[in-house]
A and B are shown apart, each in its own frame.
Chain A
Amino acid sequence: MADAALTAVTQPRARVRKPNPRLWLSLTWILIVVVAAVGAQWLAPHNPLEQDLLLERLPPLGFSGSEASYILGTDSLGRDVLSRLIYGARIALAVALAASFAACLTGSLLGLAAGYFGGWTDRIVSRFIDIWMSFPPVLFAVLLVAVLGTGLGSVILAIAIIDWTRFARVVRAETMVQSRMDYVYSARIGGATRLRILAAEVLPNVLPTIAALLALEMGVAVIVEAILSFVNLSISSDSPTWGSMIAEGRATLHFAWWVLVFPLVVLFLTVLSFSQLGQGLKDQFDPLSR
């Protein structure tokens, strides 16, 4: 009897905690990228910038004409593809983290304020969101980097300036829902100030949404950086980025497929992992989809 009761109590929990394979695979890949980024100087077999025209366009291991120390082959300047991928992880990850947190902070604060205070605050923030959403984001990003000048800082700033609306829109809507909940009224009756209610009552309930959006935004940031590198507007052209590798691979597609394929696979897995992570977080927190 007691056993049955115990299972009845524990079972739903066990189901919730069942590890989601997609989530774990995503986390594993993100961990690999993090390790590559942090340990680039020890992990990379070659200098990512070292050119050797005698070794140009070596195919990856297993194809005829390959060299043992260039596992993924070389590009048309004889640079090692694997080493460039590993160093590229640094830039991708730096952009993903910095840009997402900046966009998240700005967007969430504005969204919280608009959703909670309503009135003119809401009208002004919503108008800005409308204006921002009328720009094609890629064009906006290219424009901003042209204005700010190329470089890591500019890319991060540009992504944050564009993507705060992603957070602001959702957080605003979620805050509106939460601030009409009974617990907010009871806190108000209890004498809490508006700012206190916002910070102590509303924010914790909006936080799961923000966390899920943050993971999604990291994937977006990685892609935007790759797009900017692709049109040659990101970091200076000699630092290895996945986007610039893809641009080069696109140009030499018919002579050396591996120059395009490997960065594409890495970018693909990274973006997919961040988006699965975001989706997984969303499902984990959302009682309805559980």
Chain B
Amino acid sequence: MLKTLLIRLISMAVTLVGVAIVVFVLIRVAPGNPIAMMLPPGASPQDIANLTALYGLDKSLFEQFLIWAGGVLQGDFGTSITLKQSVSSLVLSRLPATLELSLLALLIALAIGGFTAVLGARERGKSVESGVDLFNSAALSIPDFLWGLLLILLFGVLWPLLHISGRVSPQLNLPFSTNFYLIESIFRLRFDLLKDLLSHMLMPALALALPLAAVISQLLKQGLKDVLQLDYTLLARVKGFTETQVILREAMRNAALPTLTLIGVQFTFLIGGTVIIERLFAYEGLGNMAIDAVINRDLPLIQGIVLMFACIFILVNLAVDIAYTFLNPRLRHG
């Protein structure tokens, strides 16, 4: 088991280096000179040359990569060209917002997906199950971007319950010492702030959650239905368990395992979706900053953000692998 884990770690490192090279080369062949965009019109060629040298952009591509990679290994991701701050501090200041949104979305997806799967499995073969199937098929075919727009129309305009932009109301006085607003508001028992945060985050989180909820529901329902045909669940029924008890206490453990692996991959899709959802809801997270960085040709910032996303993706996959190994007895003892 240790050996498989080690192989995974090495393979992860190779993937990360690959990502770093791809993004590094990609943004440097981009037309448009970021230095010229920074200077006021009428700057002399000498000024441009000086600033180019300052950011190390006059060196060869290979040298630039070595300098950048050397910095990254020491935790230095360079300085943002447009925001004039260190990339690592910018990325880390926005990361909590994106993580909180993604985790909230994951929770919502698990809740909706789990509930509809149990419901569909309990009422299998009846019209309730067809209803669940229909919901899943719709939720799956519609991407998060469209869900976001639909929700904006529904809960922002027709029935204005929730905020359609931002992370928190700007007039509020925030006592937070970290950028994990949602988590901190719970720990500080500031439920007024929690309510405000949720009324901003619920729609983007729901838009991200719905496709994942459908995947979970579909797979878990099928898993439950398969397990419910096995003899040991029959025994539980004979013992006098209700169907819901049989599902939750007996079938769930065995049915959940295959779903778990899939949630890992699907969760990375969800995190990828935050880029456009954050833009749509003007939510101040990493993805929103990334789009601005691309539009402004802020090369160091783009690199930093893309690498951060790649790290998150790889870590999620690793976490799922580890969880799977622990939950699956055949692998645990193998």
Contact = CB atoms under 8 A, between A and B. Distances in A.
Instruction: Report the interface size class on chain A.
Output: 35 or more
Contacts of A276: 141
A133 B15 CA distance: 10
Interface of A is mostly: helix
B324 interface: no
A271 B141 contact: yes
Contacts of A143: 23, 26-27, 294, 302, 306
Interface string B126-153: 0000000000011011110110011011
B121 to A, nearest CB: 19
A12 interface: no
A77 interface: no
Interface stretch (B43-51, B108-116, B273-281): B273-281
A50 interface: no
Contact of A134 (B15, B138, B274, B295): B15
Interface in B292-306: 294-295, 297, 302, 305-306
Interface stretch (B80-88, B176-184, B244-252, B309-317): B309-317
Contact of B309 (A136, A147, A149, A233): A136
A200 interface: no
B186 interface: no
A146 B30 contact: yes
A29 to B, nearest CB: 13
B92 interface: no
Interface in A229-288: 230-231, 233, 246, 250, 253-254, 257, 260-261, 264, 267-268, 271-272, 275-276, 279
B15 A144 contact: no
B276 A135 contact: no
Contacts of A250: 149, 152, 280
A127 B310 contact: no
Interface string A64-103: 0000000000000000000000000000000000000000
A52 interface: no
A248 to B, nearest CB: 13
B275 A138 contact: yes
Instruction: Report the interface size class on chain B.
Output: 35 or more
Contact of B276 (A138, A146, A220, A254): A138
A250 B164 CA distance: 10
B143 A135 contact: no
A169 to B, nearest CB: 10
B219 to A, nearest CB: 15
Contacts of B140: 275
B287 A149 contact: no
A163 to B, nearest CB: 13
Interface in A118-145: 127-128, 130-131, 133-139, 142-144
B18 interface: yes
Contacts, number: 126
A227 B272 CA distance: 13
B29 interface: yes
Q: Which residue among B143, B150, B273, B314 has the maximum number of chain A CB atoms within 10 Å of its CB? A: B143
Contact of A144 (B26, B145, B276): B26
B19 interface: yes
B12 to A, nearest CB: 9
Interface in B10-34: 11, 14-16, 18-19, 22-23, 26-27, 29-32
A134 B314 contact: yes
A168 interface: no
A267 B294 contact: no
Contacts of B29: 147
Contact of B272 (A137, A261, A272): A137
Contacts of A138: 272-273, 275-276, 287
B290 interface: yes
Given A134-B310, A135-B19, A146 B297 contact: yes
A240 to B, nearest CB: 18
A136 B26 contact: no
A131 B22 contact: yes
B272 A275 contact: no
A275 B141 contact: yes
Contacts of B313: 133-134, 136
Contact of B152 (A134, A147, A231, A253): A253
Contact of A264 (B14, B30, B153, B271): B153
A147 B279 CA distance: 20
Nearest to A216: B141
Contacts of A156: none
Contacts of A142: 275, 290-291, 294
Contacts of A271: 141-143, 146
19 contacts: A134-B314, A135-B309, A136-B275, A138-B276, A139-B272, A139-B287, A139-B306, A143-B27, A146-B294, A147-B29, A147-B31, A230-B145, A231-B279, A233-B294, A233-B295, A250-B152, A253-B157, A261-B153, A279-B137
**9 A-B pairs with least C-beta separation:** A136-B272, A275-B141, A131-B18, A134-B310, A147-B30, A138-B275, A138-B276, A146-B294, A139-B275
Interface of A: 127-128, 130-131, 133-139, 142-144, 146-147, 149, 219-220, 223, 226-227, 230-231, 233, 246, 250, 253-254, 257, 260-261, 264, 267-268, 271-272, 275-276, 279
